Amino acid sequence: MVDETKLNEFIGKILGDLGGVFSAPLVRMGDKLGLYKALKEQGPMTPAELAAKTNVAERYAREWLSHQAASGYLEYDSVTGKFTLPPEQAMVFAEPDSPVYLQPAFDMAAVMLENQPLVEPAFRTGKGVGWGNQSQCLFCTTGRFFRPGYQTNLVASWLPALDGVVAKLERGATVADVGCGHGFSTIFMAKAFPKSTFVGYDFHPASVEQARVHAERHSATANTKFEVALAKDFPGKDLDLVTFFDCLHDMGDPVGAARHVRQTLKPDGSWMIVEPAAGDKLEDNLNPVSRMYYAASTMICVPTSLDQPVGAAFGAQAGYAKLSSAITEGGFRKVRKATETPFNMVLEARP
């Protein structure tokens, strides 16, 4: 027998989910058209004022603003007819350097919808979908999505949580940033530690080209360079530090990658592995953050790994036990969880 209370509660949840899905294109347009930015800079505005400020049609501005107010993204004053972007919402929608800037997550949702025609057939065949064959919006979106977390945490708390690494970087160390994507992590470290040298490696040539562009744009070319290479064969010897940011679980052969990292490090070197926050059991991951990570894992991470040799397909919610097992199997004697955030866990492996 159907429990009417449970049914109504579930319908309410689904309506909330559908509201979020329906909102994705409107949030993305709010970013692209500068609507959130205008509301942040100018304060409360009517539809006519926003339209004039951003050079959009007033009728569209009014409907967009109404939706944003109904979503709780904006506040509406019925007396003045003006809409306000509160400071808390501004941190999410209009401040790219905010630690909770989630605008790129809506772009990621669009990427996953674009990936559906590629991933759906793979459910039948069990085969993978190559990183370079996925939605072409994926690469820049991934960089934008992870950038705020790296900017907030990497230099301020993640590197200091490692054993003696910051002192080495300040003196001058040799670092390989593997799976660097568009190079944001590499550049943040390079600018913070100008006496050290950093090489970013990625197996996707177009991402490496973009990383070089970003390094030029951010005046970080003096101690950085970017090269195309696999995690299992990137060049390097006697490295002080190797970093993997949100990529070990995407690799076809994490054990092989660990084995190669071990061969490139100095005897007292360190390997920093940043991975999505996750418990070791499914029941530990039934929460809103893991919900997003499992979705991305299904549509992006698992297909990427299955397309590579070995195809371990760890997934974005592999958890500490599975990751540390692969790291030790690759030849590391010591693995520990150095620090964590609600979104990430930072592991340190030592030879």
Distances (CA, A) of 14 to 3, 20, 186, 267, 296: 16, 10, 40, 53, 19
What pLDDT, in 10s, does the model give residues 6-19? 999 999 999 999 99
pTM higher than the cut 0.85? yes
First to last CA, the chain: 59
- Nearby residues of 313 by Cβ (< 8 Å), 6 or more positions away: 302, 305, 306
How far is 261 from 67, CA to CA, in rounded Å? Answer: 50
Domains and CATH numbers, the chain: 4-93 (1.10.10.10), 103-350 (3.40.50.150)
pLDDT in tens, 139-153: 888 888 999 999 999
Separation CA 349–CA 327 (nearest Å): 8
pLDDT tens column, 41-74: 999 999 999 999 999 999 999 999 999 999 999 9
Q: Using 50, 70 and 90 to split pLDDT, how confident is the model at 137? A: confident
Strands across the sheet containing 334-340: 224-228, 197-202, 174-178, 239-245, 265-276, 344-350, 334-340
In tens, the pLDDT along 17-30 reads: 999 999 999 999 99
Give the pLDDT band (50/70/90) at residue 136: confident
Average pLDDT over residues 313-335: 98
So what's the pLDDT on residue 22? 96
Q: Are 167 and 137 in contact (CB under 8 A)?
A: no
pLDDT score at 187: 97
pLDDT for 140 equals 84
